[in-house]
Structure 1
Amino acid sequence: MTTFDHAPETKAGFAGDDAQQVFDALMRAFEDYKAENDARLKAIETGKGDVLAEEKLARIDAALDHQQRRLDELALKAARPQLAAERPQPAADQREHKSAFEAYVRTGEAASLRRLETKALSAGSAPDGGYLVPTELEHTISSRLAAISPIRSLSTVREISGGVYKKPFVTAGPATGWVGEGDARPQTNAPSLDALSFPAMELYAMPAATATLLDDSAVNIDDWLAGEIDQAFAEQEGIAFVSGDGVSKPKGFLAVPTAANSAWSWGKLGTISTGAAGAFAATAPGDVLIDVIYALRPGYRQNASFVMNRRTQAAIRKFKDSSGAYLWQPPVTAGGRASLAGFPLADAEDMPDIAANSLSIAFGDFRRGYLIVDRQGVRVLRDPYSSKPYVLFYTTKRVGGGVQDFDAIKLVKFAAS
């Protein structure tokens, strides 16, 4: 019998959790899940299906998700870099920038920051102004975003100094062939090139602080600001990287035109249908997962991952392969990821739920398939007037994204054909 507590978990509850204990609880929940599902399937085969068995399985499934979320929280907390004292001391100009930035955040005194940015001939100011955060804080924000954002952690990330990154690609390659040692070498045609553009769009967050917090010298301002904005940035990025329309935001991979994989062409993502509208096929429902795996070319497949939300995972947990083994498997270690058919599985809550014609599962080598561009510089504008007695910090960064290799990602479409 399952003994897991299904009460909602609070952040405070994670403080005393040990990752190994939570991992052990997850493994016990999965063993209970397999035993209960096997019993349910056997009862259905003998015509003795029971509603209570379905409800019990749903409770165990909820317990599995509960333990997985706890484990993810602990792994995320461990992955987030701290502004630790043991880091090498920055150069004198960086220390001066850090000191001037802290004075600006705490008191609003901006003369030192203005002098430093003028001295550095700083360009690319945001339309609403603000000042560049110290380099160490910018790197910390980027590292935390990589730990939080599932698509960012899977994709290629490029840092740029301009507003647009252009990536050339070959539309028609040069002629090639084999020749013998003494054969004439025919002249080959030059390759035809085109370019994909990835503009960096402005993303903002506006954390608030009290005067008491800013006056407290024990509060690490860099750590506070990074902690306030990383989750806000990650949530907005996550939505954009999955389904953004490319207007004032990155273009998500689900916003790219699609075509049945048998009719795939460059500029589109190939889809494999489940065979049923808004559902998996009634018989052999897991076959579509195998189909999408082998729809990907071998060169991409070796580094591929599944991407879906937890509700889609819950439907897939019941699937078995021909030998009776479950396709979904929990993480092998406390800090690892669950796997599906032997491939890593990334939780992306911004992926759509299963519905008619939905693209609820993605599979591919996102490192080669999706590109994220970060423009250098995170800016902060202090606003003590708009929401008195609170001080707002209008924080902006520029980020773009889009598909860079349309052959590296495949989608599962919940449709009859």
Structure 2
Amino acid sequence: MEAEIKSLIEQQGKAFMDFKSRTDTEIKELGAALDEIAKKQNRPPAAGGSFHATHESKAALGRYVRTGDLPDTERKAWTEASDSAGVLVPEQIASAVMAVAKKYSPMREVCKVIQIQTTASKFTQPIIVDGSPSGWVGEVDDRPNTAAPSIEGITFPDAECYCNIPLSTWVDEDSQAADLVIQEIGKSFGRSEGSAFITGDGSKKPIGFLHGTPSADDDDTRAFGTLQYLLSGSATGLTSDALISLVYSLKPEYRMNGVWVMNASTIAAVRKLKNTSGDYIWSDSIAPGQPAMLLGYRVLEAANMPDIEAGALPIAFGDFASGYTILDRSMAMLRDPYSVKQYVQIYARKRVSGNVTDSCAIKLLKVGTA
């Protein structure tokens, strides 16, 4: 019996040591993973990505705002602007500003966003319109050449958004100054973009997806670059049947990523629509942080969409990641402590543009005129 007890104690001791060894290993692996995450947070984001500015980058911004000076250790991230006075801000600060701007520029949530470095005054993106035809062959059959695809060029107008943010000369903490600048520039840029990505005319600003004259023609007959509209089904308002038709006017490859875009007053009207069974077609969010759904698709509120009125285009539906592209370039800042003595003004500018890149991916609902 004594031998059995001793053996049992030894087995328990060995099991405990094995457990401790495994636990120590897992703790080390977890620590390494956390270290890797921390390192990644100090790296520039991939195109279209964003994250919060690091403490060091915000401190540098705050010192620049307060004193106009950048220590030598930070100048590697902050470079002189090549085409005007001021400094080009590092990607971490630019991303933090645009994270704020996204709250006021909702199209950034659903459209494709590309960061480019070219200094050309205009950027042209080639688009394959109809693809290259394919064919079927046997294992050893000849493969004849296929016809070349049709290519169109989408031009993004050169556009620059700017703002002038006044700060009190009594701002005395780096973090406070940085937060104020990030918040105020983000709000200013976001409000300007929020309008331009929807209704911009391309004259020193992006081309909005509502700019131009849409057509009632379908995808096979409509001119390239022109969006299609469907009538609302009522001379004065909207109908649930028209919304259903709008969904299925999109090809299935676009429909699977479909998003509704409308303003608050239109949302209020749509929430009251019912189907033939008397049920509301709107579905409220079933979980915190989740968007409301209309006919099974997400609804994005955009304040700059038109109201419901005769001849207006109050609703858009489509795959905006395929249909509309936003081009972001570098952001620059200039500190001006002289123009207004009681303030330090931060003049910020950012070159940004946008245009429709696939006119089959977005559809519009038009209110009747009679």
Cα distance in structure 2, aligned partners of 1:101 and 1:364: 39
Map residues 41-190 of structure 1 onto 2, 5 A cutoff: 88=39, 101-109=61-69, 116=75, 124-126=82-84, 129-163=85-119, 164-190=122-148
Evaluate the alpha carbon distance shift between residue 149 and residue 100 of structure 1 in structure 2; reply closer, same or farther with a 3 A threshold: closer
State the 1:275 CA deviation.
3.5
How many residues get paired?
Answer: 319
* 2:258 corresponds to: 304
Contact 1:140 1:226 in 2 (8 A): yes
Question: Structure 2 counterpart of 1:325, which letter?
Answer: D
Contact 1:382 1:392 in 2 (8 A): yes
Please list the CA deviations of residues 83-113 of structure 1 after superposition, one character each: whole Å capped at 9, or x if unmatched.
Answer: xxx955859xx99986664333102347x58
Match of 1:349 among 303, 307, 326: 303
Question: Structure 1 counterpart of 2:92, which letter?
Answer: E
- 1:212 aligns to what SS in structure 2? coil
Cα distance in structure 2, aligned partners of 1:102 and 1:184: 67
* 1:236 corresponds to: 192
Evaluate the alpha carbon distance shift between residue 387 and residue 222 of structure 1 in structure 2; reply closer, same or farther with a 3 A threshold: same
State the 1:369 CA deviation.
0.5
* 2:289 corresponds to: 335
Contact 2:104 2:194 in 1 (8 A): no
TM-score of the two chains, using structure 2 as the length reference = 0.78
Cα distance in structure 2, aligned partners of 1:319 and 1:333: 23
Of Structure 1 and Structure 2, the greater helix share is in: 1
Of residues 353-362 and 269-278 in structure 1, the stretch that sits farther from structure 2 once superposed is: 269-278
* 1:259 corresponds to: 215
* 1:22 corresponds to: none
Evaluate the alpha carbon distance shift between residue 97 and residue 200 of structure 1 in structure 2; reply closer, same or farther with a 3 A threshold: farther
Please list the CA deviations of residues 238-289 of structure 1 after superposition, one character each: whole Å capped at 9, or x if unmatched.
Answer: 0000000011111100003310044533210000012333423xxxx21100
Please list the CA deviations of residues 172-218 of structure 1 after superposition, one character each: whole Å capped at 9, or x if unmatched.
Answer: 543322233454433222223232122441111222111112xx227
Contact 1:278 1:358 in 2 (8 A): no
Question: Is 1:396 paired with 2:349?
Answer: yes
Cα distance in structure 2, aligned partners of 1:339 and 1:308: 13
Question: Is 1:361 paired with 2:325?
Answer: no
Contact 1:97 1:116 in 2 (8 A): no
Contact 2:225 2:357 in 1 (8 A): no
Cα distance in structure 2, aligned partners of 1:251 and 1:192: 23
Contact 1:369 1:408 in 2 (8 A): yes
Identity %: 39
Cα distance in structure 1, aligned partners of 2:107 and 2:173: 37
Match of 2:271 among 317, 334, 338: 317
Contact 1:205 1:233 in 2 (8 A): yes
- 1:220 aligns to what SS in structure 2? helix
CA RMSD of aligned residues (A): 2.8
Larger Rg: 2
Contact 2:99 2:186 in 1 (8 A): no
Point out where structure 2 has 5 or more consecutive residues left out of the alignment. 1-36, 44-53
Cα distance in structure 1, aligned partners of 2:291 and 2:128: 35
